[in-house]
Amino acid sequence: MRFAHVRLPGADAPELAHVTDAGVLPVAQLVDGGPRTLEQLLAGGSALLDAVRSAGDAFSGERTPTADVTFAAAVTAPPSIMAVGLNYGAHAGELNLKSDDTPTVFTLWPNSLAGHEGTTTWSRAQSESVDYEAELGVIIGSPTKNVSEEEALDHVFGYTVVNDISARNIQYSEAQWCRCKSLDGFTPVGPYVVTADEIPDPQALSIWTRVDGELLQDATTGQMIRSVAKLISHLSQGITLLPGTLISTGSPGGSGYSRTPQVLLQDGSTVTVGVEGVGELTTHCRTVA
């Protein structure tokens, strides 16, 4: 199944919708008292998901065309956003940073979340070295603690697309990476959450970035240094990953900062990141003085 947070025409706020080729339909219209956010859907467990799935499969009425809605972030209130750095060898090399034996892990702040086709704005005085990073996002579906690598994928609810936008000048000037990647709107997520049953192997997906139509990242998730299962197992040791936790699993090579000449995001840039079977996520860029 595919879900998204969308604002319907004339609506005051976004709500969770079931997405098919025919369009979108609020989940609250599929089942009585249905969830209005992904977090509420997850809180209902497998029984609620099964009820939504059955109702969605049976529904034959009209849906709102996808082109007529506005997307919010695919996750709106995750209990945590955990990001993994240097998880592709090519990206670690091009940034001249060492990929250690254990993952580089940092958190992202919720103010950074943004939706598909949104506009991210930043101050040129703060950074003129803003970069893109296409990443596969993983959403935890059940409380996950001390799981083995073999068990890890059983705890995944679904997958989404993340653009881990980064202010490189801040990144290289500070010991931590949270702030350089958590400016307002610097974590676009979506547009969809695709349930795990539709992605049998998260290590067999193409992943890419286009900036103003030019293909700049082109790789596969099979090039990860640490697989999704290994990351979940590692992150869960001694820490309960709560349902709705978003894990951004790292970016492949091809970043704009490392190119000669550099290709950095600037006023008027449009960046689209995509993951095979999950979707494409577009962000419009604007700068201010």
pTM attached to this predicted model: 0.96
pLDDT band with cut points at 50, 70 and 90 for residue 53: very high
Question: Over 70: is that where the pLDDT of 99 sits?
Answer: no
Q: Is the pLDDT of residue 93 over 80?
A: no
The model's pLDDT over 105-115, given as tens digits with 9 standing for 90+, comes to 999 999 999 99
Q: What is the mean pLDDT of residues 60-64?
A: 95
Is the pLDDT reported for residue 150 higher than 70? Answer: yes
Domain 81-288: CATH class, spelled out: alpha beta
User: Is residue 98's pLDDT more than 70?
Assistant: no
What's residue 92's pLDDT?
Answer: 59
Name residues whose C-beta falls within 8 Å of residue 141's C-beta, 6 or more positions apart in sequence. 42, 155, 156, 157, 158, 196, 243
Q: Tens digit of pLDDT for each residue in 211-236? A: 999 999 999 999 999 999 999 999 99
pLDDT tops 70 at residue 91: no
Q: Which residue has the higher pLDDT, 36 or 93?
A: 36
Q: What percent of the chain has pLDDT over 70?
A: 97
Q: What is the mean pLDDT of the chain?
A: 95
**Residue 20, pLDDT score:** 97
* Predicted confidence (pLDDT) at residue 97 exceeds the cutoff of 70: no
Extents of the domains making up the chain: 2-71, 81-288
Q: Is the pLDDT of residue 201 over 90?
A: yes
